[in-house]
Amino acid sequence: MEVCNRKTVPPLFSLIKDKYKKIKKFFLHSLQDLFSKPMCPEQWERLEELLYMQDLGSNLVKEIMDGILAYHREFKEAKQADYIRWMKTRMLTFFPTQREPLPRVYPKRALILVVGVNGSGKTTTIGRLANFYQKQNQKILVAPADTFRAAAKEQLAIWAKRAAVDMVESPSKDPSGVIYEALQKGVQGDYDLIIADTAGRLDAKVELMRELEKVIRTAKKLNVEAPHEVLYILDATLGQNGLDQLKTFMQFCPVTGICLTKMDGTAKGGVALRVQKELKIPILWIGLGEGLEDLQPFDANQYIESLF
């Protein structure tokens, strides 16, 4: 398998600025307030409520509550800082200890199919991914396979221009047609990476979901390994709804990674933990703003640090 030449690539850390500090410290401040008082049954209830407010869901809330109550029974003298340290350490264990290096390295001409519900940040993320990989000296082609919404193509064209990458011009009104042309152009133009936009769809629209299956079948006709990534864009502000929508998508297409967007706009950090623990899908990217540079490879340590 031919792999992109990364010898001339600038060191990754030089591209990554610390945007995690944009995540609000609501969780930490609430915990500090809570644990500053003696822990009584009402206080434990408040903690439980706080965890639910973080979108952690009943299973994780129960796990955390059982754990911290056991800790409290064992260490009766525990102070605010001890409880917070316990919480931080426990939350980190929800992520796998053996973590894959990110960002992922793809074979040459790999196809990343970007999927998700309306308005989750698909097109914005494509612009930012294109910018990221372009800066690593990769030749990027973006594909406007959202043929459903008016002006979707124009919107992607704006992002392509910002990131200084090419966009395939396809007259096709059929997303599969656009993907077909993009993969062909990928070979002809010797591109390293092809990133395809798709229409935002809600789980109730079964025919649109079926269309995704067709897009994947079409891609496989030109490259059996495609798509190399099905990147689901998960809006962190949607909480439980967002997770339910993701589960529906997973019935129609093999989601291989998550980009968690709008983390700068929410005080809730639980969704990332649930995706990892309950659905076992790796979070690859995190969106922390609306700009071209506001995307970073996901880092569990940095993420947990940013919540506390």
Rule CB under 5 A: which residues touch Mg ion? 122-123
Q: How far is the CB of 177 from ligand GTP (least distance, A)?
A: 19
How many CB atoms lie under 10 A from the CB of residue 211?
21
Output 21 or 62, the one with its CB closest to ligand GTP. 21
Q: How far is the CB of 155 from Mg ion (least distance, A)?
A: 6
Output 114 or 304, the one with its CB closest to ligand GTP. 114
Per CB under 6 A, the list member of 200, 227, 270, 282 interacting with ligand GTP is 200
Q: Are 298 and 306 in contact (CB under 8 A)?
A: no
HEC readout, 68-101:
HHHHHHHCCCCCHHHHHHHHHHHHHCCCCCCCCC
Structure tokens belonging to residue 152: 């979707």
**Cα 110 from Cα 224, distance rounded (Å):** 11
Q: Starting at the earlier edge strand, list the strands of the sheet with 193-198.
A: 166-167, 140-145, 193-198, 110-115, 229-235, 257-261, 283-287, 295-297
Q: How far is the CB of 274 from ligand GTP (least distance, A)?
A: 18
Output 123 or 176, the one with its CB closest to Mg ion. 123
**Cα 157 from Cα 138, distance rounded (Å):** 18
Per CB under 6 A, the list member of 123, 138, 176, 245 interacting with ligand GTP is 123
Q: Are 183 and 200 in contact (CB under 8 A)?
A: no
264 binds ligand GTP (CB under 6 A): yes
Per CB under 6 A, the list member of 245, 261, 296, 306 interacting with ligand GTP is 261
Output 123 or 170, the one with its CB closest to Mg ion. 123
User: Cis peptide before 103, with omega less than 30 degrees from 0?
Assistant: yes
Per CB under 6 A, the list member of 57, 239, 257, 287 interacting with ligand GTP is 287
Site string for ligand GTP, 35-74 (x = CB under 6 A): ----------------------------------------
CA angle 55, 60, 62 (to 5 degrees): 115
Per partner kind, with CB cut-offs from 5 to 8 A, the member of Mg ion, ligand GTP, none near residue 229 is none
Q: Which amino acid belongs to residue 156?
A: L
Tell me which residues touch ligand GTP (CB under 6 A).
Answer: 116, 118-124, 146, 149, 152, 200, 233, 261-262, 264-265, 287-290, 294
